[in-house]
A and B are shown apart, each in its own frame.
Chain A
Amino acid sequence: MKQKNLLSLFLACCLAFTLTACGGKTEEPEAGGGDAAPAEEASGETITLGMIGPLTGSLAVYGTHIEKGVKLAIDEINAAGGVALSDGACQLAVETKDDQGDPTECVNAMNALISDGIQLVVGSATSGCTSAITSVANSEGVVMITPSGTADSLTTAMDFVFRTCFRDSFQGELAAQWAKDEGYTKVGIVYCSADTYSAGLRDAFTAACGDKGLEIVAEESVATMTEVDYTNQFNKMVSAGAEMVFTPFYYDVMGPYLVPQARSVGFTGVLLGADGVDNTETTIPDGADLSVYNDVYFVNHYSTELAASDVSTNFVKNYEAAYGETPNNFDALAYDAVYVYKTAMEACGASDAASVQAALADTSAAYDTTCGSFSFDETGTPIKNGVLMGYTYTAGDEDVSKITVKALSLS
């Protein structure tokens, strides 16, 4: 009997380990990439980019889309002849690591990439995860471009961390400006005090409200980004008379918890979020009262509807051809990150971290991206604009639809 118990315990352990091991899957580099033959002879060398993102877990939408964006860009670049370095053209490949949306896993993923000799990394998706690996990138001298890590503190002058998205202080200000333009005077905030992203946005929004003369009538916080109950917080928003509430959370709590609960205690005003709210449509439960998702808006990086430049329309066309769906902003920002690497590598003619870092740190260089042309500021954050998007539902429709309201820029 004892032996049997030992055996079952051993099997249980094996199972547990296999499962954790499943987390970090590695993609073998795709030779050739795409059907089109390379336009010019590649020098035979392949540059492998690293990619870190939550491919599984509650924020899996982010990681899977970043991966799709990165792969599309790499396939395009390889099909067009690769990256032209000073000693000939190189093909690109990617090594993907899953951080499960967890900062600890993210550090493990980063260390694994570094030990594989990777010098250029795209990742990670969230500010919380990205902030866990910026110091590793800087101390090891590995270049990192985060497609969607918006926290202000991620990029500083003279370091190895860059991004293709705007920063939180900027999007918080955009949010406050939109609220003012819409004529709101009494606003509320519900945020998570323990999260880099949520607390950073709250600070930016609060500061901007002060400048623009918006009165913050109530402010409530929750302890974690995975909190399930927001009814008491919105209860207070209602009693404080907030016309609009700023909610810097991710989509995984917006759809199932926050929005329906806010409405259930009688909050009928506007819910304004930031880029984390995008993809909420994937977490709306069947059978829910869809009219509650009206008047939910969010500041975002990119909208296919406002795609104006050649790069952008080309991206949308190729993405739809490759994956059969419309891209979202994570696809676009990750796609941009790869092209930013390409431009920088071609500018310096090398693919080692130090040269690429120097090329990226040149604030006069311009990058043509899906969100228009931009340059980095001295910290490595692009100077660009945002868009306001939202959700709408009319009785009789099958689903909530995502709408693009307008382009946003600071006046």
Chain B
Amino acid sequence: MITFIQFLITGLRLGSVYALIALGYTMVYGIIKLINFAHGDFIMVGGYSLFFTIPIMMNVGIPGWLAVVPAIVVCACVGMLVELLAYRPVRKTGNNLTCLITAIAMSFVLENLAQAIPAIGPDPKVPYTLFAKTISVGGVAISHATIITVAVSAVIMAALYFFTQKSRIGCAMRCVSEDKEAATLMGINVNHTIIVTFGIGAGLAAVAALMYIAQYPKVFTTMGATLGIYAFVAAVLGGIGSLPGAVLGGLLIGIVQSGANTYISSSMSDTFVYLILIIVLMIRPAGILGKNVGEKV
């Protein structure tokens, strides 16, 4: 029983981080139909930003986790810059495929740019760990990081859902994702909406970075690559473009990974993640909560 609960906790913890990252993928895809492969690298940007700011915060006497605020700002700026400098010009002249290649290129550019900064360099760094304490409830050990990760993710996901449903800019995002031309006709500034989406998506990645390094305290320039892939799979599994889908996909992948680790074989946990993806896509090609929209001709 304890094993079961422990597996569930680990799964939820992993899943919450994947979900936060998957939200960024799904928001950007929803609005410009671009799979932003550089999204994983926003986590790296957030990770390094936290690595440098947490010690400064602690020295000044501010709680270390507040370093997430500058990290969100840095990530959002990087996200918006990537959109402004790379995606927007390419989108104007190219097609979906050129955008996709640009996204892959951006991912490498970000990783290599980071490596070129002398303070970052090619060697991994170990950041300050926050929430390192562990509590034990009836024989089950739960770290503070786990509780905070799950709680913060839940709050952020709920907030994001209400933001897109109720706020003006949220409504604008949904309009743009449904029909760009019609949105323009309705007086929505499409470019403005897209850039805000990038800002929010990258900001979420900064929060995910805080949660991630609290559990896995190591930052390196390629740290976003694998994380980004899991999150991308989560977004596709849940139905890319759908916010609740990203959350569901993230949690599902976290729990499947943890379950395969505990009950089947730890070297095969990834196999099960992709197996589930394939099965789900065979039954529901648009993902679990995705809307199956026919191609417009």
A, B from the same assembly: yes
Which residues of A come within 8 Å of B, CB atoms?
1-2, 4-5, 8-9, 12, 15-16, 19, 23, 56-58, 60, 100, 193-194, 220-223, 228-229, 231-233, 235-236, 239, 252, 255-257, 260, 263-266, 283-289
Contact of B6 among A4, A231, A283 (CB under 8 A): A231
Closest to A58 in B: B124
**A265 contacts B141, CB within 8 Å?**
yes
**B132 contacts A19, CB within 8 Å?**
no
Contact of A229 among B10, B64, B265 (CB under 8 A): B10
CA distance A60 to B178 in the complex (A): 50
Inside 8 A of B55's CB, which chain A residues have their CB?
286
With A232-B262, A235-B3, A286-B129: A221-B134 Cβ-Cβ less than 8 Å:
no
Inside 8 A of A223's CB, which chain B residues have their CB?
266-270
Which residues of B come within 8 Å of A, CB atoms?
2-3, 6-7, 10, 14, 55, 64, 85-86, 89-90, 92-93, 105, 108-109, 112-113, 115-116, 121-124, 126-130, 132-134, 136, 139, 141, 143, 216-218, 220, 258, 261-262, 265-270
Closest to B10 in A: A231
Closest 4 CB pairs of A and B: A56-B122, A232-B261, A285-B217, A285-B129
Inside 8 A of A58's CB, which chain B residues have their CB?
123-124, 220
Contact of B116 among A15, A255, A265 (CB under 8 A): A15
Inside 8 A of B141's CB, which chain A residues have their CB?
264-266
**A287 contacts B267, CB within 8 Å?**
no
**A256 contacts B112, CB within 8 Å?**
no
With A12-B109, A100-B122, A263-B134: A233-B129 Cβ-Cβ less than 8 Å:
no
Inside 8 A of B93's CB, which chain A residues have their CB?
1-2, 5
Other A-B pairs, 11, CB within 8 Å; known A221-B266, A256-B126, A287-B128? A2-B93, A15-B112, A221-B267, A231-B10, A232-B262, A257-B218, A285-B128, A286-B55, A286-B129, A288-B217, A289-B133
CA distance A265 to B112 in the complex (A): 37
Inside 8 A of B124's CB, which chain A residues have their CB?
57-58, 252
**B127 contacts A285, CB within 8 Å?**
yes
CA distance A331 to B109 in the complex (A): 36
With A12-B109, A58-B220, A257-B218: A285-B266 Cβ-Cβ less than 8 Å:
no
**B14 contacts A287, CB within 8 Å?**
no
Contact of B89 among A5, A255, A257 (CB under 8 A): A5
Min CB–CB distance A54 → chain B (angstroms) = 10
**A284 contacts B132, CB within 8 Å?**
no
Min CB–CB distance A98 → chain B (angstroms) = 9
With A232-B261, A239-B2: A16-B109 Cβ-Cβ less than 8 Å:
yes
Inside 8 A of A283's CB, which chain B residues have their CB?
126, 218
**B216 contacts A256, CB within 8 Å?**
yes
**B132 contacts A288, CB within 8 Å?**
yes
**A287 contacts B134, CB within 8 Å?**
no
CA distance A223 to B134 in the complex (A): 27
Which of A229, A266, A283 has the largest number of chain B CB atoms within 10 A? A229
Min CB–CB distance B3 → chain A (angstroms) = 5
CA distance A228 to B258 in the complex (A): 12
**B14 contacts A229, CB within 8 Å?**
yes
Contact of B136 among A100, A266, A287 (CB under 8 A): A266
CA distance A265 to B122 in the complex (A): 32
